[in-house]
Amino acid sequence: MLSDIRAACRAESQKEKSGQESLEDHFKDIDRWVSGDAKQTLSYFTGLEKDAFPPYNQLSDDEVKKVCDAFTAMLNSWNVGLDVPDELPLDRQYELMVGLLDHEFTPFHTGMFIFDFCTGYAPGCELEEYCPCLEIWEEDF
């Protein structure tokens, strides 16, 4: 599984290798993202299938940590970062990460997209009791 995740890393384009990305390229990426030009899933671009990942309880904590680290590195190669609460349990982090494979995705060549899994609406948040908005939500409502 780790070799499949490593193989899913995006190869650098010639522009990225030379540092020749232009401001125009950056704005094109922003326009594609804003327009909702995500016609495919992350799985489509990486070749990784959600079903290929075993359930959390079939792996040791050490194996899950290695998968999460490799998955994070693979996402970074696609200019994607993850922002999850430090206290989020490893099993939840694993499930959320693997779930990203079914998420609509627009590849970026410049900049970075951050998945934080939080919509700002704490009652429906995927992070559940680990939602960073939960405390504020409970105070205001």
The tens digit of pLDDT for each residue in 74-129 reads 999 998 999 999 999 999 999 999 999 999 888 877 778 888 888 888 888 889 89
State how beta strands 104-105 and 113-115 pair. unpaired
- On whether the CB atoms of residues 72 and 40 are closer than 8 A, the answer is no
- Pairing relationship of beta strands 104-105 and 40-41 according to DSSP bridges: antiparallel
Q: Domain locations in the chain?
A: 38-140
Asked if 127 contacts 59 with a C-beta cutoff of 8 angstroms, the reply is no
5 or 31: which leads in pLDDT = 5
Whole-number Å distance between alpha carbons of 110 and 33:
12
Q: What is the pLDDT of residues 29-72, one digit of tens each?
A: 666 666 666 678 999 999 999 999 999 999 999 999 999 999 99
CA-nearest of 103, 105, 7 to 47 is 7
